[in-house]
């Protein structure tokens, strides 16, 4: 079987709350997580937070992916944390292995080189498979065939704020396709050729580029029009699966994938998703979920205007801009933080002293 299912325990909720939820057409959506059996405690933490802050009211199903079958302990303990259905899927070996067109000796040299110069996880084979799967295969698993939306949840993350609305309904009603929580820099040494390959793709397939594509916030005009390496932090994303199922996206993914960057370099799904969103959507189809307080490792954001709903110290809008770039990386830092570049307008304005007119805690 490609996946398995456990039946949840049922708990009662106030009748009025249940009737309100039934009155709305519930989006076909799921909370999805790529996780190992060994990361059980980490995903339990993430589930506790998201169930308490959001999903206990909506009971969207949880779908867990693993490159090996989940054990019974993992299944029992995760199902025990939610009233929603839980599904457990195994990633096909063909989606989690070295493609036949990859030169293995060149790949091994890349592992050694990137590990030696300190690129994060540059020496990990499994990390390359993971980035490639998140880029071009997660949405192809048959377990997601009946769903339109996903919310990506990783182990060991924190959700700090009560989410008193349904983000999936919000996305549907506002014709949004992709939602993010942080927009930051990463170490550009891990994907040096991605922008060049993307430019080549745009030249070969100009018909795929959205007529309202907004490149302004990802282009560094002080650096010969190069990609400034800003990217949506993809460990939190809420998206429409049709974006990734489209011929447009898959043509782009295949174009990049066949050039080997997931293995000869260390391409990540974050810059690839970001560039795809920029190329194939209008900016008004993306949304910044600033109101959802969130933390992944050292990166954290907490809204300042929702203190009654959050259990975190407010963070500045620019808080996470440069945290993932090591000191030894020679990449050029944009003049403004990635999220300010994306917001644009008044968020980029400075006074005579060079300080931003809009304080980063105001958003």
Active site residues: 237
Rounded CA separation 359/316 (Å): 8
For 194, phi then psi, to 5°, come to -65, -40
Rounded CA separation 92/63 (Å): 15
- Kindly give, in sequence order, each residue whose CB lies less than 8 Å from that of residue 288, ignoring residues fewer than 6 positions away: 179, 180, 181, 183, 339, 342, 343
Name 29's bridge partners.
Answer: 149
Helix, strand, coil % over all residues of the chain, rounded to 5: 40, 15, 45
- Kindly give, in sequence order, each residue whose CB lies less than 8 Å from that of residue 34, ignoring residues fewer than 6 positions away: 64, 65, 66, 91, 130, 133, 134, 138, 154
Kind and range of the H or E run holding 250: helix 247-257
Number of Cβ within 10 Å of residue 185's Cβ equals: 21
- Kindly give, in sequence order, each residue whose CB lies less than 8 Å from that of residue 186, ignoring residues fewer than 6 positions away: 229, 231, 268, 270, 271, 324, 325
- Among candidate residues 235, 252, 30, 238, the one with its CA nearest the CA of residue 141: 30
Whether 137 contacts 257, CB under 8 Å? no
Number of Cβ within 10 Å of residue 87's Cβ equals: 19
Whether 163 contacts 53, CB under 8 Å? yes
């Amino acid at each position: 079987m490609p996946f398995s299912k456990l039946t949840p325990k049922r708990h009662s909720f106030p009748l009025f709350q249940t009737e309100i939820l039934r009155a709305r057409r519930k989006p076909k959506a799921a909370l999805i997580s790529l996780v190992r059996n060994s990361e059980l405690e980490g995903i339990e933490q993430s589930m506790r937070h998201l169930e308490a802050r959001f999903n206990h009211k909506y009971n969207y199903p949880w779908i867990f992916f693993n490159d090996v079958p989940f054990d019974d302990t993992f299944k029992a303990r995760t199902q025990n944390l939610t009233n929603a259905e839980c599904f457990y899927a195994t990633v096909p070996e063909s989606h989690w292995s070295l493609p036949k067109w990859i030169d293995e000796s060149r790949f091994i040299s890349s592992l050694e080189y990137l590990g030696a110069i300190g690129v994060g996880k540059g020496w990990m084979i499994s990390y390359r498979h993971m980035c490639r799967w998140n880029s071009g295969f997660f949405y192809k698993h048959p377990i997601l065939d009946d769903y339109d939306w996903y919310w990506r949840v990783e182990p060991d993350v924190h959700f700090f704020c009560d989410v008193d609305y349904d983000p999936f309904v919000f996305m549907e009603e506002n014709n949004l396709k992709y939602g993010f929580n942080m927009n930051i820099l990463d170490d550009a040494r891990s994907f040096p050729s991605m922008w060049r390959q993307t430019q080549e793709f745009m030249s070969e397939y100009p018909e795929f580029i959205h007529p309202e594509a907004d490149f302004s916030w990802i282009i560094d005009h002080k650096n010969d029009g190069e990609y400034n390496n800003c990217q949506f932090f993809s460990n939190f994303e809420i998206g429409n699966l049709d974006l990734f199922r489209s011929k447009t996206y898959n043509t782009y993914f295949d174009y990049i994938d066949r050039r080997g960057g997931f293995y000869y370099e260390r391409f990540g799904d974050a810059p690839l998703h970001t560039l795809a969103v920029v190329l194939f959507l209008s900016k008004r189809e993306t949304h910044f979920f600033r109101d959802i307080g969130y933390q992944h490792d050292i990166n954290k954001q907490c809204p300042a205007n929702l203190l009654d709903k959050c259990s975190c110290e407010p963070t500045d809008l620019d808080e996470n801009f440069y945290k993932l770039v090591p000191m030894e990386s020679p990449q050029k830092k944009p003049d403004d933080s990635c999220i300010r570049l994306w917001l644009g307008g008044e968020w980029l304005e400075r006074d005579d002293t060079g300080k931003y007119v809009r304080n980063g805690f105001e958003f």
